[in-house]
Structure 1
Amino acid sequence: MAIRQKLIYSRSDDRLYGLSTSSSNTIGGQVEIAHQMMCYVVHGLTTRFTIPAGYFFHSSFTAEEFYCLTLNILKLVTDCGFLIIRIVTDNLALNVNLFKLLGNGSIQNVISHPYLSPLPLFLSFDYCHAIKNARNLFLQNDMMSSDGVISASFLTDLYDLQKDLPVKPMKFLTKKHLFPNNLEKMNVRRAIQIFYPSVTAALKFLNENGHELFQNVSGTTKYLGFMHHFFQIHNVSSKNQYIRSLDSYVAPYVNVSDERLHWLMHKFHPYMDDIQMQSQRAGLPGLSKETAHSLKFIARSTYLTVKFLLEEVGFYYVLTRTFSSDCIEAMFSHVRSRGGSNDATDARAS
């Protein structure tokens, strides 16, 4: 989390707040004032709990420092009796380098647990960040797949078509969805609303009824559908929601032969490769290399984690929303609220 670069002396504590906690702030070293906070949070899978395991103020981190810090946190938490089976983070370059160091030079979905060998330790990027990246790239440039062009211009045309209508097919579709600013790009709800089945249905209806602006929309509707399925598979949060919603895609995972896990491994992966290959042939950017890799990496990690929990650990069911880094986002939100709902809080308030 970004914090205000500010040095504060507390007379009551006789302490300076705002210095980096890295090794450079030793006697004789150059003093560094922190402008970021690194936070580790332990989140329960079988029991509902969220515990901050540690947070550190820093101005810069090398991958090696981050690696050592992560191993120290992992050891301390393991010594407290927790069984850590998965590390989740976003796909920033620093985190990618961390995964490379954990995997001895290569990014792997599963490694041997450093302190509980031979138990596995699964690595994954956060699916919420990945879906936001997929949305942002979809809005920025056209792509291509075997089903045709993938373009956000169809959504823009839909927005222009319905904005003066008293009854709108997509009442939630706004400019903030299609032209988000930097802050709005962080909103997961708006990102996933772009991929709602109702959007896909509206585009298909206009295409089937011969509207001239919505020809060759099949490639775009398939992309929207795949991204929505990907999010749903990773957003299972209740044992009973699938009964109330009559939607099997949000049912808890009870069997490794679940068709959703098969879809992740045998349909989603080839579709991502198809977009990259067809976009390259058409001279279009496609998805960024990092985003395409992270989407496939998340899909495989989810499959392996669910398989391990059901077959090896003996879970009766698995809820995949607990795999996300929402607990860290909630921690940051709480810290900001304690600092007066300030997006640029300082080290003392944190």
Structure 2
Amino acid sequence: MCDTFLSKPLTEIVKLQATLKDKKPIARSKRCLERMTENIAYRPGLVNDDVFAGIHIKVNSLLEVDRHCIICMDEMSLKANLFYHTGRDEIIGLHDIGLETKQFLVAQNASVIMARGIYYNWKQPVAYFFVHTQFKASDILPILKACITKLFDIGLHVDGVVTDMGSNFISLSTLLNVTPENPVFSVNDHDVVYLFDTCHLQKATKNNLVNNTFCFENKRTSWTFVEEFYKSDKLQPYRCAPKLTDAHIYPTNFEKMKVKYAVQVLSNSVASGMNTYDHKLFVEEFRNVI
């Protein structure tokens, strides 16, 4: 009846639940699953075949449309530290990107590659790397192509790659011959779109506006206008843009890296407030002329 009236994924779920109904709850506990996986060693690089084998099992239960995904790549800073892993007889914390490339340099950054569904909400880290300073574009390129190939081989459809605007990722896009006019590169005859993360694009736009004047459509805009609006607005009892603070308008080097500040400055509420402020100045100027 399940095969007749239910979809294939739902049928598999019902059959699985039917086989588990007579088993003791302990066999289905979280700790039971942890014991099954605690002896699996996950190492830096694309060397963890168990990860891809597990994804392959999951992929077989997905509808064709749910197999479309993107790859996300990002880095984070680490507090440099070394420790000896007695089980592996290995020092952990050195530069290691897999493929027997460990170097005697203390890792200061970690990089992660994650696959995420487009139509169906799923995500899975597929590889991580310990890097001394910055993950070089020349090292990322073969790893990225190998990862995309592995995901295609297990049945996923990689439609895009998303990164932030770090200098190494900008260099990577250059190596892939990606341009604003042609944001597509090819891996084994599969077209993949390269995208910079939207939030980081907003941060870059805001930081460029701080130091430059933008000209477009015979118009000109400058950070000076935002400053003038903020100085006037913060004196009002009822503000148009109450979230704006000195950290938004006069940011430190650390605050310039905060995406939320850029998004809040370039928001619709700030734009509406500036439009109201501009209209008020126009009315006052018109009255003075009269």
* Native 8 Å contact 2:199 2:263 kept in 1: no
Deviation at 1:49, TM superposition (A): 0.8
Percent of aligned pairs with the same amino acid? 24
Partner of 1:149: 220
Match of 2:123 in 1: 50
Task: Report if the CA contact (8 A) 1:99-1:108 is conserved.
Answer: no
Question: Which secondary structure does the structure 1 equivalent of 2:271 belong to?
Answer: helix
**Conserved in 2, the CA contact under 8 Å of 1:154 and 1:213?**
no
State the structure with bigger RCO (CA 8 A, min sep 6), 1 or 2: 1
Indicate conservation of the 8 Å contact 2:207/2:256, yes or no: yes
TM-score by length of 1: 0.53
Which of the residues 71, 93, 96 maps onto 2:145? 71
Kept after mapping to 2: 8 A contact 1:99/1:106: no
- Whether the 8 Å contact between 1:99 and 1:107 is mirrored in structure 2 is no
Which of residues 229, 233, 246 in structure 2 aligns to 1:158?
229
- CA distance in 1 between counterparts of 2:152 and 2:127 reads 14
* Equivalent residue number for residue 251 of structure 1: none
Match of 2:168 among 94, 104, 122: 94
After superposition, the C-alpha distances for 1:102-161 in whole angstroms (9 at most, x for unaligned) are 34999941133x23x2x4211121111111010111123333344443122222222222
Bigger-Rg structure (1/2): 2
- TM alignment of 1:229-308, pairs within 5 A: none
Distance (Å, rounded) in 1 between the aligned partners of 2:177 and 2:217: 34
Match of 2:91 in 1: 16
Deviation at 1:22, TM superposition (A): 4.2
1:185 aligns with 2:185: no
Deviation sequence 1:235-255 (CA, Å, 0-9, x none): xxxxxxxxxxxxxxxxxxxxx
- C-alpha distance in 1 between matches for 2:148 and 2:285: 52
Q: Partner letter of residue 3 of structure 1? A: L
* 2:159 matches 1:85: yes
Partners of 1:108 and 1:123 within 8 A in 2 = no
Structure 2 residues without counterparts, runs of 5 or longer: 1-75
How far does residue 87 in structure 1 lie from its aligned partner after superposition? 0.9
Asked if structure 1 preserves the Cα contact closer than 8 Å seen for 2:111 and 2:128, the reply is: yes
Q: Is the 8 A contact 1:21 1:57 kept in 2?
A: yes
Q: CA deviation at 1:55?
A: 0.5
Correspondence for 1:7? 82
Q: What SS is found at the alignment partner of 1:210?
A: helix
Distance 1:18 1:214 in 2: 65
Q: Structure 2 length as normaliser, TM-score?
A: 0.63
In structure 1, distance between residues paired with 2:99 and 2:284? 60
* Comparing 128-137 and 180-189, the one that deviates more: 180-189
1:209 alignment partner, one of 280, 283, 289: 280
Structure with the higher strand share, 1 or 2: 2
How many residue pairs end up in the alignment? 210
Q: Secondary structure at the match of 1:31?
A: strand
CA contact (8 A) 1:19 1:25 kept: no
How far apart, in 1, do the equivalents of 2:284 and 2:200 lie? 31
